[in-house]
Structure 1
Amino acid sequence: MATVRVEAVIEVPAQQVWEAVADVGAVHRRLLPGRVADARLEGDVRVLTMPDGSEIRELIVSVDHVDRRLVYGVVEGQKLPLTHHQATFQVFGEGERSRLVWWTDVLPHAMADAVRARTERGVAEMKRVLESA
């Protein structure tokens, strides 16, 4: 299994970043407006509606407020040909700023570069949104 790790230093305190990450039903407003058109929760499943109308279903595995860690797995709807996709976000405090780390485990291994490109764009967008809030 390939693991992709992408991170960004965000000029916002860790608790503020964590509150946005942990608000799993509001990713379209708090982290990725424009990239995600809507989000809703159906039990432990987050359904993301993309701007083109397609949907991605993600099983929310863990929202750990003590360690500021979110784990989810894509269970349906991704456009990349992946047989496995699980991701973890973790927020670390660094004084008045924070470090957001996004790990993604994927299969097949050959898809790691495509996933890395997506997560790098996503982290850059999240950094911009969080710092402008």
Structure 2
Amino acid sequence: MATIRVETTIDVPADRVWEAVADVGAVHQRLLPGRVTNAVIEGDNRILTMPDGHQVRELIVAVDHDIRRMAYTVVEGQRMPLTYHHAAFQVFEKDDSRSRLVWTTDVLPHAMAALVHPRVERGIAEIKAVLEGTGSDS
């Protein structure tokens, strides 16, 4: 299995970043507005709607407030030819006013990591901009 790990420093306190990450039903408002247009929670599943109407179903595996970690796996609607896609966000305190966000994604087949990696990098940059209030929807 290929693992992709990206991280960024966000000029926002860790508690505020975690609050946004843990709000799994509001990813379209708090983390990736524009990339995700809607999110609906059905039990442990999150259904994301993309700008073109395509939907992705994710199983929310964990939301751990103690270690500020949220994990999910894509179970339906993946456009790339992946047989496995699991990811997790974890928020760490850097200092009183900044945090470190780590996004780890595991994918199969291994060769798909080369295509997934730039998407994850772009996504974390978008999340940083939104949380810092410099994104397009700020």
Do these two structures clear the TM 0.5 threshold for a shared fold by scoring above it? yes
Matched residues, number = 133
1:64 and 1:117 map into 2 onto residues whose CA distance is 27
Taking the TM superposition and a 5 Å limit, the aligned residue runs for 1:13-32 are 13-32=13-32
- Secondary structure of 2:33's counterpart equals coil
Q: Which residue of 2 aligns with 1:127?
A: 128
Alignment partner of 1:59 is 2:46: no
- Secondary structure of 2:132's counterpart equals helix
Runs of 4+ in 1 over 3 A off after TM superposition: none
| Cα RMSD for the two superposed structures | 0.6
Consecutive unaligned residues of structure 2, counting only runs of 5 or more, are none
Q: Which residue of 2 aligns with 1:38?
A: 38
Percentage of matched positions with identical amino acids:
68
Could you tell me how far 1:73 is from its partner in structure 2?
A: 0.2
Quick one: which amino acid aligns to residue 59 of structure 2? Answer: L
Consecutive unaligned residues of structure 1, counting only runs of 5 or more, are none
1:75 and 1:83 map into 2 onto residues whose CA distance is 10
- Secondary structure of 1:61's counterpart equals strand
Normalised TM-score (structure 2): 0.95
1:37 and 1:78 map into 2 onto residues whose CA distance is 16
Normalised TM-score (structure 1): 0.99
Quick one: which amino acid aligns to residue 106 of structure 1? Answer: V
1:73 and 1:40 map into 2 onto residues whose CA distance is 15
Quick one: which amino acid aligns to residue 97 of structure 1? Answer: R
1:78 and 1:31 map into 2 onto residues whose CA distance is 20
